[in-house]
Structure 1
Amino acid sequence: MLKQALTITTVLVTATGLSARISAAQDATALEAITVLGTGLPTSVFESPSSVTVIDDGQLRRIAPEKIGSYLESVPGVIIGEQGIQRIQIRGEAERRVLIKVDGQALTDHTTYGQPVLVDPLNIERIEVIRGASSVVSGSRAIGGVVNIVTKRGAPDTAAEVTFGAGYFGGSDGYRASGSVGGTIGAFDYRITAGTADFGDRETPDRTLVPSESASDSLAVHLGYQIDPNQYVMFKAQRYDQSADVFTDDPDFTITLPNRDLTKYSAFYEGTDLAPWMPKLNADVYYQTVDRVFENDVNTGVPPFVPNAPTNIQGLSDDEGRTWGLNVTAELSIFDIGRSFVGFEYEDDRLDTARSSIVTANPPPGPPGPPVVSVDSREEDASIKTTSLYALQEFDLSDTVTGFLGGRYYAVDAELIRSTRSAPRSNDDDRFLGSAGLVWTPNPETALRLNISQGYSYPSLGQLFLETSAGGQTVIGNPDLEPETATTLELGARYDGAGATIDATFFYTDSSDYIELTGAGGGTLSYTNIAAAEAFGLEVLAETRIGASNWSPYASLTYVRREFDFGNGFKTKDSGTPELFGRVGVKYDFDWFGMTGVLDAHVRGETSATLRDETGAVVRSGDGFGLLEVDAFVNISENASLTVALNNLLNTTYDPIDQIEGQKRSVDVFLTWTF
């Protein structure tokens, strides 16, 4: 594995040296895409002060969507963590510090693992990713960044359009199939999408990981109505059921996630040009529930009750999260200096949880006797209510210089309403966050930018109040926790012209009051605010066309160094983040026998990584790796397309940090047909 890590490092560093003349982005990073992520104002990626990536529908169709992470593998700074369910890391920040949104509305999670993306990949219109602290415009939990999933609306210009997508994924002997029908009838538009997926145990070059299965079923409905040319309303309903087995590599320790289910209802209003001083007015309201069941089973030979006797510990957590929220935003034109953006957001997030632990200690060798059984159960009900006001002003400083200045005020109240184990408790916070950006476009092909933005992550209800038992350990919430905060500084350059583009960013993030688990003795852990964390790095996306040929070399690279300061005198750069990761490749556009498409041959990989705790002990580590892969996208006809992915062609064994072991040499095939 060390040889492979050195190989991929050499390739990536070499490509970085070429980044001055090649640039940004595979198709998934088109600089002309328009987004409101980062500023709240419709702004092209090229002119945005923030680090933004937009993946549109056309680019999504070129990727075989085993899971949502398949769409994000080429985005710089992004690593997909996978322990049963995929979650997203950005710039080394843990998954729980990345804000996940669906149609601009936040998904919430109160575990230590972070929020998974609970959306059918075939119901996605586009994905927007912002990297770095972004809580002024985006909201709480956006310390590492934001991933916003925009779901599809009705098909235009037709009363009924049917789309079907299905595929096979060889690394898990799994499949995914989805179908949708959508259209527009007069002032109404609609779409209904249903899908199912089932993935077997992961097959690696050396073995099959048993158990590591996962499955999902989904149903989504969209109804829209165009009131008049300037006003539009829509209603969306979504159901997404997911289950998974977590591979632990220990037959005496099992983790099962039989339910990770989302039900979501939302209504939207969009107004344009309602008054000379109000170009846009948007409002939305939503209600969602997340049902989560977590089961674990541990067998050990050193029980706490009967010496030298086998013990079984069974843990069960059955949670229901209920969230409703309201967002109102407006783009205003009241100052001659530039556009204005204001917003109001309210979120009421509540969690009901029932947790139990059953410890069965069998008698030691000798005279037979009954097992010693200990049952521990508890129920808790807690809530977080967040109110915030925010605004951002654009400044047209000259024909070539644009400035941005934003701020957000937070007021948060958390409460343990009911508990069978402890008295009611509370926690609250209020504070102001700011952001500032500057973009200079000396010519139409070049943009230089400076951006400073703050991030904010209020503790989850689990971190504040709840007590959890798993794997023979007990985790206790801490009601005195402070929110995590971060400030990100970015210097960036973009170029788009002469057949080449570039999007390069240097970033530095200074974080305070990180919440981590620390030992309290006797197998008990508790959450505490450690002193600080710092990260800096470089992201480069690059692509260029070689002359008049059909060949386009590209690179998507991230270098990052992170350091934890635990506040006890111990600092470590072993923060669990690979220093270098990404992909380097070449694409070839073809037109064969009336079929057009793209071939993409690339090397994908990362360096090794280690995570240490506050004592310096290694918690976990991961191998570096480099994989040779080839993807092909083919437009079979005007209405049908085929994607084929040849994964891990050299059948490399790899075991990256925060992921299960990588899949063996395999083939993914996915067909999309619209009629």
Structure 2
Amino acid sequence: MYLWENQGPRIDTNRSGVFLCARACFAKGEDMKKSSYASLASLALLAAIPGQQPARAAEVTTLGEVVVTAGRIEETKKEVTANVTVLSREEIEQAAARTVGDLFAELGLSHIQKYPGSLTSIAIRGFRTETHGNDLQGHVLVLLDGRRVGTGNLAKIFTRNIERIEIIRGPGAVQYGSGGVGGVVNIITLRGRNNSLVVDAGAGSFDEYEAGFAATALQEKFDFAGALTALTMGDYETGGGRDYVNTGVDSRAALSINTGYSFAEANRLGMTYTGFTAEKDGNPGYIDTPDADDYTDKDNYSLDLRYDGRMGEGARQWLARFFAGRDENRWVYPTASNPDGWDDGSTARKTTDQQGAQAQISDRFGPATLTAGLDWIKYEVENTWTPEATEYANPAAFLLGKGEFIDQRLVITAGLRHDWYSVEVSQPAGRDEDENHLTPSVGLAWSLNDASKLRTSYAEGFVMPAADQLAADYWNWGIRTVGNPDLQPEKSKTVDGGIDYAAAGLTGSLTLFTTDFEDKITNYILADGSSSWLNQGSASLSGVEAELSYDLGVPLSLAWEVRPYLNLTLLTEYEDNETGEDLLYVSATNYAAGLAVSDGERWSGRLNVAYTGSQLVQDWASFVYPVPVVTLDSFVVADLTVSYRFLATERYGAWTLRGEVRNLLDEDYGYVLNNPMPGRSLFAGLRCEF
């Protein structure tokens, strides 16, 4: 059993400045030993650290200083009862990753599935995002500034204009509705707080070329932050030395803009636009029988208009917003190369149009803070396959409460959300069906002191049935498919507990969790031979999550930040309750460990090692039915990044060289069976900042 749909063969097989372009292509160093690369990487970081520097490179934070939005309003991490991870702007910039999906894999925050062709899904606690537009059907929810981004494909979200990323581990359905079973990822875009301009460019192995532009502005009441990134890459070679044809991309580009106008006191009208496009992104399929000319085109864009307000310095605050967007995926199948015999020159397409609105108000009543609001979303989905057109509408009302007692050492949270949803299959004509769902949560946190906090929570999550699962009635390939109007949402119940610590350069957390997942929707054959769906699957998942980071520069009184770190997820149970067997497509162990160094002025670098454990998967390339289950082996991927600011003047700006070695050990690996990732590659870039 697996916990999400579409785990068979994927559909994709299925900061004024001077512009400078620095190009440097590098070939892979085939004859270097892996141990030599690891040693050189460590020396590259440590040798740069001098005995004295004039200023501390990194700020020391405590639990009361980290701001998160896990309860849909800003609060400190000390007040949160859930397990929340926050990735700062600095951490994001130090990474080799260009997309949020790659960032999660690099830092060991998630098990991912990644294919050639800009397709990456992430998993939290054994549950995964949906990758093709309708995130109501996913089991991990991705947000942009607190609203649905409209895709679970994190290859479509670039990291350049991101201020921070908040990861809520465990159900987030009370706050955000359907899809947040395993967790919620909230991507916070950068806001203009100064005037700056950045231009950068670089090149690397496999004919990779990249250029980018970013700017921020703050003029009286107006703020702006924007970034544009474009890249191209050729076909790559795997760590095993095999050429993987048709893995290049003609063009990938991403644009992000966050701008606003502030008025009165603490009131702001804002607009956020995000866009992604990929043109002729190679879609080779399995490496043993690659298709040399299949490709995908992908687009995702959204516009968000919002009004944030606050009553002076008081606790009363409000938000109103409207957003709309589109997610589109196209798969083109030319016939010149046709190893599987299925190509017919056609183009398959899936388009999801999204609209949504949010309204909420928060205020403080003695020791309690209450947040009440309404959400509304509507999706219209069109496919070139059956069913060709479906619609989803989902209004909801929620109430979130937080109480602080005993000198604010004790925090109690509770929430309740009621979702109403209706679905319709409009082509071919089917039915319309509606359902509703009530979701609770409760949590408790106890601050032992300013540095440490104990917490525990109970939360539920759900995934609403798809339109065809509820309301379909059509014939395809001689088989009738009929929806089941009695379907219930897939549901989860999660209990977790842990401890957080942050002081004197040391930050860490430890969490234990257990989840009961029930009412899994699976295909079912009726007595008359028709295909339908039924709630008939359940699973149990338990595990441990740990994070540890220690800036050695604090106890050693160094001017530099010298910070080793570890992120770990270990699933101790992930079992199908019916068969007693381990769940498919779940990696029990994922971790990342590394060393980050920075003087805060000229030098910075990071050596990162990420481990992904083995998993049981189906071997669809065998063309055998029933599809055999095999083991996808574990692997280790190391990345090294180093940056050096060699010039910083008021007149000419700040100039920085950046070097990256990706897959440092030249590991032959893949996140998906028969879809290996690139071998060792080098990248060099130049950045100009004013």
TM over 0.5: yes
Cα drift, residue 462 of structure 1: 6.1
Distance between the aligned counterparts of 1:226 and 1:301, measured in 2? 58
Please state whether the residue corresponding to 1:572 is helix, strand or coil. coil
Q: Relative to 1, partners in 2 of residues 1:389 and 1:316: Cα closer, same or farther, differing over 3 Å?
A: same
2:411 matches 1:402? yes
The answer to whether the Cα contact below 8 Å between 2:63 and 2:452 also exists between their aligned partners in 1 is no
Distance between the aligned counterparts of 1:579 and 1:473, measured in 2? 41
Q: Relative to 1, partners in 2 of residues 1:209 and 1:434: Cα closer, same or farther, differing over 3 Å?
A: same
Match in the other structure for 2:538: 532
CA deviations 1:278-329 (Å, max 9, x no partner) are 5211111011122222345799999xxxxxxx77666643232211110012
CA deviations 1:387-412 (Å, max 9, x no partner) are 11111111113222111011111101
The answer to whether the Cα contact below 8 Å between 2:107 and 2:592 also exists between their aligned partners in 1 is no
Q: Relative to 1, partners in 2 of residues 1:630 and 1:380: Cα closer, same or farther, differing over 3 Å?
A: closer
Match in the other structure for 1:324: 355
Match in the other structure for 1:198: 232
- Aligned residues with identical type, % of pairs: 21
The answer to whether the Cα contact below 8 Å between 1:562 and 1:577 also exists between their aligned partners in 2 is no
Match in the other structure for 1:102: 144
Match in the other structure for 1:541: 547
Amino acid at match of 2:328: D
Cα drift, residue 43 of structure 1: 2.1
The answer to whether the Cα contact below 8 Å between 1:456 and 1:484 also exists between their aligned partners in 2 is yes
Distance between the aligned counterparts of 1:289 and 1:354, measured in 2? 16
The answer to whether the Cα contact below 8 Å between 2:296 and 2:331 also exists between their aligned partners in 1 is yes
Q: Relative to 1, partners in 2 of residues 1:393 and 1:28: Cα closer, same or farther, differing over 3 Å?
A: same
Match in the other structure for 2:326: 289
2:38 matches 1:38? no
Match in the other structure for 1:579: 588
The answer to whether the Cα contact below 8 Å between 1:610 and 1:620 also exists between their aligned partners in 2 is yes
Distance between the aligned counterparts of 2:657 and 2:373, measured in 1? 42
The answer to whether the Cα contact below 8 Å between 1:100 and 1:115 also exists between their aligned partners in 2 is no
Amino acid at match of 1:141: G
Distance between the aligned counterparts of 2:669 and 2:459, measured in 1? 36
Q: 1:187 aligns with which of 199, 221, 236?
A: 221
Amino acid at match of 1:395: G
Which consecutive residues of structure 2, in runs of 5 or more, have no partner in the other structure? Answer: 1-33, 39-57, 131-138, 620-624, 649-653
Please state whether the residue corresponding to 1:514 is helix, strand or coil. strand
Q: 1:258 aligns with which of 296, 315, 333?
A: 296
2:240 matches 1:231? no
Q: 1:557 aligns with which of 568, 576, 587?
A: 568
Match in the other structure for 1:375: none
Q: 1:343 aligns with which of 346, 357, 373?
A: 373
Cα drift, residue 516 of structure 1: 4.6
Cα drift, residue 268 of structure 1: 0.7
Match in the other structure for 1:267: 305
The answer to whether the Cα contact below 8 Å between 1:76 and 1:539 also exists between their aligned partners in 2 is no
Cα drift, residue 650 of structure 1: 2.8
Q: Relative to 1, partners in 2 of residues 1:410 and 1:670: Cα closer, same or farther, differing over 3 Å?
A: farther
Distance between the aligned counterparts of 2:189 and 2:480, measured in 1? 37
Q: 1:91 aligns with which of 106, 110, 125?
A: 125
Match in the other structure for 1:362: none
Cα drift, residue 336 of structure 1: 1.4
Distance between the aligned counterparts of 1:61 and 1:236, measured in 2? 21
Q: When you count strand as a share of all residues, which structure comes out higher?
A: 1
Q: Relative to 1, partners in 2 of residues 1:95 and 1:427: Cα closer, same or farther, differing over 3 Å?
A: same
Cα drift, residue 188 of structure 1: 2.3
Cα drift, residue 185 of structure 1: 3.2
Distance between the aligned counterparts of 1:485 and 1:519, measured in 2? 23
Please state whether the residue corresponding to 1:390 is helix, strand or coil. strand
Q: Relative to 1, partners in 2 of residues 1:143 and 1:321: Cα closer, same or farther, differing over 3 Å?
A: same
Distance between the aligned counterparts of 2:474 and 2:669, measured in 1? 32
Please state whether the residue corresponding to 2:217 is helix, strand or coil. strand
Match in the other structure for 1:457: 463
Q: Relative to 1, partners in 2 of residues 1:77 and 1:590: Cα closer, same or farther, differing over 3 Å?
A: closer
Q: Relative to 1, partners in 2 of residues 1:469 and 1:611: Cα closer, same or farther, differing over 3 Å?
A: farther
Amino acid at match of 2:199: F
Match in the other structure for 1:14: none
Please state whether the residue corresponding to 2:173 is helix, strand or coil. coil
Q: Relative to 1, partners in 2 of residues 1:90 and 1:301: Cα closer, same or farther, differing over 3 Å?
A: closer
Q: Relative to 1, partners in 2 of residues 1:578 and 1:389: Cα closer, same or farther, differing over 3 Å?
A: same
Q: Relative to 1, partners in 2 of residues 1:34 and 1:354: Cα closer, same or farther, differing over 3 Å?
A: same
The answer to whether the Cα contact below 8 Å between 2:61 and 2:502 also exists between their aligned partners in 1 is no
Match in the other structure for 2:10: none
The answer to whether the Cα contact below 8 Å between 1:572 and 1:612 also exists between their aligned partners in 2 is no
Amino acid at match of 2:141: L
Written as runs of structure 1 = structure 2, the 5 A alignment for 1:38-437 is: 38-73=70-105, 75=107, 77-83=109-115, 84=117, 85-96=119-130, 97-108=139-150, 114-116=152-154, 118-153=156-191, 155-158=192-195, 161-170=196-205, 172-205=206-239, 206-214=241-249, 215-243=251-279, 244-249=281-286, 251=289, 256=294, 258-273=296-311, 279-295=316-332, 316-333=347-364, 335-355=365-385, 380-399=388-407, 400-419=409-428, 423-437=429-443
Match in the other structure for 1:364: none
Distance between the aligned counterparts of 1:524 and 1:245, measured in 2? 37
Amino acid at match of 1:330: I
Please state whether the residue corresponding to 1:122 is helix, strand or coil. coil
Q: Which piece of structure 1 moves more, 643-652 or 524-533? A: 524-533
Please state whether the residue corresponding to 1:386 is helix, strand or coil. strand
Cα drift, residue 145 of structure 1: 1.3
Q: Relative to 1, partners in 2 of residues 1:201 and 1:509: Cα closer, same or farther, differing over 3 Å?
A: farther
Cα drift, residue 415 of structure 1: 0.8
Distance between the aligned counterparts of 2:230 and 2:105, measured in 1? 22
Q: State the number of aligned residues.
A: 602
Amino acid at match of 2:349: D
Distance between the aligned counterparts of 2:587 and 2:611, measured in 1? 10
Distance between the aligned counterparts of 2:204 and 2:614, measured in 1? 27
